[in-house]
Amino acid sequence: MSMDPNTQKPSESSRTPEIPVKEPSGQQIASAASNIPVLPNTPKVEIETSHQEENELDKKIYKAEGIGKIAAIVLATIASVFVFFNFVLGITVVDGVSMRPTLKTGDILLVWKLPKTIAAVTNSQYLPARSHVVIVTEPNNPKKQYVKRVIAVPGERVDATDGKILVFNIQYPQGFNPDSQPYGKNLPATSGDFQVSVGSGQVFVMGDNRKSGGSIDSRSSIGAIPANNVVGEVIMRIYPFSKFRTL
């Protein structure tokens, strides 16, 4: 190797040329690996993928089960709400003047339906108690419902004369005033003169607005209401909050 006398460094002509390095290709690596001798009794190592596949399947099953549980809870909640409000407790809003002065338009009421539901399940006769406020369906028009008060029950006779109303039965053959309850203190006189006998499975209902034309009830064309047309009994006014109370 010659030295440059001025720099004391190897001259360019004497340098060893650099050999370029190439990365082996995948095919070359695979070929070299196949030529490696296998020692006797050397255990083979296999990579198992079954556990990974099982884990992926378990995740999918778990996810499906989670979605199924959520759907079941949602459906059960909807069904429970439907059953509750159709067969146990209902809500209705007063619309009209037929129950004045006790109730007014816009009042929101809770309706207790469970006794009617139990009677239907046990195939027995349901009859609301006298003086209770009820929701009734008009016999000739099932789409119409009214808020009324029960005045008389099966086997009784209702007489109205000169603004006074009396109910006759076996216990009171001389008659009694059905409005002799706290609610009756502020009621107007009952208009019209009539006499009605209440048949089996019926109830005689009236609105608290006893003025002429003030209420469509058993005094008018709808007559005594079949007990099956009673939707339920009003147990409470929940709105307006200032008038929150039981009925």
Query: Do 61 and 166 share a domain, yes or no?
Result: no
User: Do the domain assignments include residue 33?
Assistant: no
Query: Do 190 and 123 share a domain, yes or no?
Result: yes
> pLDDT tens for residues 173-199?
999 999 999 999 989 999 989 999 999
User: Do the domain assignments include residue 167?
Assistant: yes
- Confidence tier at 220 by pLDDT (50, 70, 90): confident
pLDDT greater at residue 63 or residue 72: 72
pLDDT greater at residue 3 or residue 103: 103
User: Do the domain assignments include residue 218?
Assistant: yes
Query: Do 157 and 233 share a domain, yes or no?
Result: yes
Query: Do 168 and 104 share a domain, yes or no?
Result: yes
The residue from 98, 113, 215, 218 that is catalytic is 98
In angstroms, the CA 57 to CA 97 distance is: 66
Category of 214 on φ-ψ map: left (φ > 0), alpha (ψ -120 to 50) or beta:
alpha
Query: Do 164 and 98 share a domain, yes or no?
Result: yes
User: Do the domain assignments include residue 50?
Assistant: no
The residue from 116, 148, 215, 218 that is catalytic is 148
Query: Do 153 and 66 share a domain, yes or no?
Result: no
Q: By residue range, what is the domain housing residue 61?
A: 56-87
Report CA 53 to chain centroid distance, whole Å.
42
Res 48: pLDDT: 53
- Confidence tier at 2 by pLDDT (50, 70, 90): very low
- Catalytic, 31? Answer no
Query: Do 104 and 163 share a domain, yes or no?
Result: yes
Query: Do 61 and 182 share a domain, yes or no?
Result: no
In angstroms, the CA 96 to CA 79 distance is: 32
Q: What is the mean pLDDT of the chain?
A: 83
User: Do the domain assignments include residue 12?
Assistant: no
- Catalytic, 98? Answer yes
> pLDDT tens for residues 15-36?
555 555 555 555 555 555 555 5
* Structural domain total, the chain: 2
> pLDDT tens for residues 111-128?
999 999 999 999 999 999
Distant-in-sequence, close-in-space partners of 3: CB < 8 Å, separation ≥ 6: 9, 10, 11
pTM: 0.71
Query: Do 124 and 170 share a domain, yes or no?
Result: yes
Query: Do 114 and 93 share a domain, yes or no?
Result: yes
